[in-house]
Amino acid sequence: MSGPPPLLTHDPSTSGPDDRPTSLALADPPGPPPRRPGTGGGGDGDGGGRRPGGRKQLVRRIVLWSLAALIVGPFLAFAIGWVAFKVPSADDVANTQVATFTFADGSPLATVRPNNINRVNVTLDQVPEPVQHAVLSAEDRSFFSNPGFDISGIGRAVWSQLTGGIGGGSTITQQYIKVTTGQDQFSLWRKYKEIVLAAKISKEQTKQEILENYLNAIYLGRGAYGIQAASQAYFGKDVQQLNASEGAMLAGLIQSPSRWDPAKNEDKSRERWNFVLDGEVQMGWMTQAERAQQQYPQWVPPSSAEGGIPGDANGHIYNQVRAELEQNGISEAEINTEGLTVQTTIDPDKQKDAVDAANQVLKGQPDNLRTALVSVDPKTGAVLAYFGGNDGVGLDYAQASKQPGSSFKPFVLAAALQQPDPIGLGTQYDGSSPQTLAGQKVSNSEGVSCGRCSVKTAMTQSINTVFYKMALDIGPQKVADAAIKAGIPAAPLANPTGGISLGDKNVTTENMAAAFATFAADGVARQPYLVAKVTTSDGRVIYDHGAGSSAGTQAFSQQVARNVTESMTDVASSSRIGLRDGRPVAAKTGTVQSSIEGQNNDAWTVGYTPQIATAVWVGTDDNSPIKNSAGRPVYGRMLPGSIWQQYMSDALRGTDVEPWSKFTPIGQAPVSDYAGQSPAPTRSAGSNDDGEDGQQPRNRDSGDNGDSGNSGNGNSGRGNNGNGNGNGGDSGDSGDSGDSGDSGGDG
């Protein structure tokens, strides 16, 4: 069936382009209205939505533009920087400004003035080739082949910052830019500028010119800028006269001159010296035979306080603060050029208490005696007082590594309390003396002995045989691990034996204060710190310790830490170094025996309340025997105990008595050894160890370390027939036998 006839229509073959139709045609019914863009479903053809091909083209364009930006952008930025940035010279070292160091309350501690800065330029020809090689070995072994910057080093710096580190390696050219611009804080902008300038300098100057300028600009400590000034500061001669060994020592200082000055840390200086010389051998600048002939050079001590560095006890605080600033990425060059204000954690009143206690107790004592005191807030890790000696430009005794003797015994207990079958304060041990333990003869010195006594009594009496056996029972490495968790550095504790129980590993006074603070804080370990805040001259805060976390790390459970504290609560009173207001304290003494029979080399008292943890050391520069004004050996509870007692009493004066946290015994609970459970420690008759200032002396630890016990002699005669059990004195460390009836004495 055919459809209706069509109507007349326009004939395109007979009409021009502008002709209009003269009639309508009958058309097919209209289809559905077109979909609006972006609506409806898909489908073939021109239906709604964006066509897949258009979507792909958009993605392709985005990718191409992004790649173009990634490729062209850096080149464009590099070109702009190349034009904009001026190449610095050695004479462009940023103008120096006054740097201010303050106590915690804002009062001045030190003001470092720029007018004492020392810099003398020399030509590269004046610098001996071995000295040049030493610097290259220390800082940039690829100097003559790299383009002025190290992409891998920059990558490490960025990654380190992202992960909380302190930056990465820089070439000598990059270091030169930092020094001459005074910009040493990490930022992407500075790194960008540094790369551009490094490349530009490498094009405009020869490697020899760059090295010469670097050697004249670098800071090497003691107020010395440049290799010539440093040569005079450390060796008292011109750079032309330096030999390979001296050059290696100076080169080793570049990264951290404040911390690695041999006058402050000769061990680290020697380590860096070896690193530099070994690098020279690797680079072919020195033969192995020449390396074998090198000897660590003789350096000259700082002649006086320089650049405003305090010459008194505060000088050691200043030096430790500068070292800590470097650890946090703030260089000495920045300190000298940006007018920084550095607020420390040191409490001025407590610092005065520390200095007064040290000087007053040692007044009238032999001149060769030295002491150190470090006091830490267990709740934050802030160092409240720091005394490393009265010579602020001399050796810092608070950083001197010494054996701690029996003051290390709490770490043995901390490890023992954590065993699957824990050793508790009431656990009974054979404290007789001598004993052969693992093939080693161990004695309690002066005949101190307890046939059976509890761990707490053994801590109070400092019974060597008990703690040596305990360390063997649990394993010496576990003792080392406990000490490390508390805050003692790991390196000195390597390869421990049973002797670790008697403190045969080296530690510093600061180490011991921080580690005991962990027990005071119920097991929370916090890194000790002295820098609270750093502000620039225009008021910008570039470092704020308070902005970080002081939560610390839970090194031990509260229960373990509190049990360790409980073990030491009778020590101070039995050693007659309790605080004046009678508040509860936990403490431990330690004495290190000399190789000379009957003499001691080092003596310690370390103790705390919930508010303050303090360590005190007394010894000498040369490890000679320590004697008091009466010529008698010094023990832990004597001079160091008196310093600790005076400082803690003064520092806590007027403060609330904070109670210990709840004590829940681990293992067997402590009981009184004087209530019939086991015999009290005794001494052999006839011991004759003199006391100090009319007080009874202490027993010395066996072996290489330890404190001496209380001989009970004091004044001659039987006194009150002796006081058989005594007061459980802490002796230093092999235990205070208390007032021994056998020995007589005042009791």
Contact status, residue 332 vs residue 342, Cβ threshold 8 Å? no
Phi then psi for 384, rounded to 5 degrees?
Answer: -90, -30
176's CB contacts (< 8 A; 6+ apart) are 88, 201, 210, 213, 214, 217, 218
Nearest to 486 by CA among 324, 665, 606, 636: 606
For residues 216 and 296, the answer to whether their CB atoms sit within 8 Å is no
Contact 173, 210 (CB under 8 A): yes
The alpha carbon of 66 is separated from its chain's Cα centroid by a whole number of angstroms, namely 45
On the 0-12 / 13-18 / 19+ scale of CB atoms within 10 A, 67 is: exposed
The one catalytic residue in 406, 574, 734, 737 is 406
Q: Which tokens is 317 given?
A: 């605080």
Q: Please report, in angstroms and rounded to a whole number, the separation of the first and last CA atoms in the chain.
A: 139
Number of other CB atoms surrounding residue 366 within 10 Å: 14
DSSP state of 389: -
| Both tokens assigned to 719 | 């006194």
Length of the chain: 747
The phi, psi pair for 264, rounded to 5°, reads: -110, -35
Please name the residue that has the structure tokens 């802030």.
382
* Amino acid of residue 648: M
Catalytic position from the list 139, 324, 334, 692: 139
Strand pairing category for 600-608 and 613-619: antiparallel
- Tell me if residue 139 is catalytic: yes
CB 178: neighbour CB atoms within 10 A?
19
Q: Is 306 a catalytic residue?
A: no
For residues 201 and 223, give the distance between their C-alpha atoms in angstroms, rounded to a whole number.
Answer: 27
For residue 567, give the nearest of 412, 456, 454, 461 by alpha carbon.
Answer: 456
For residue 597, which amino acid is it? E
Active site amino acids: 139, 406
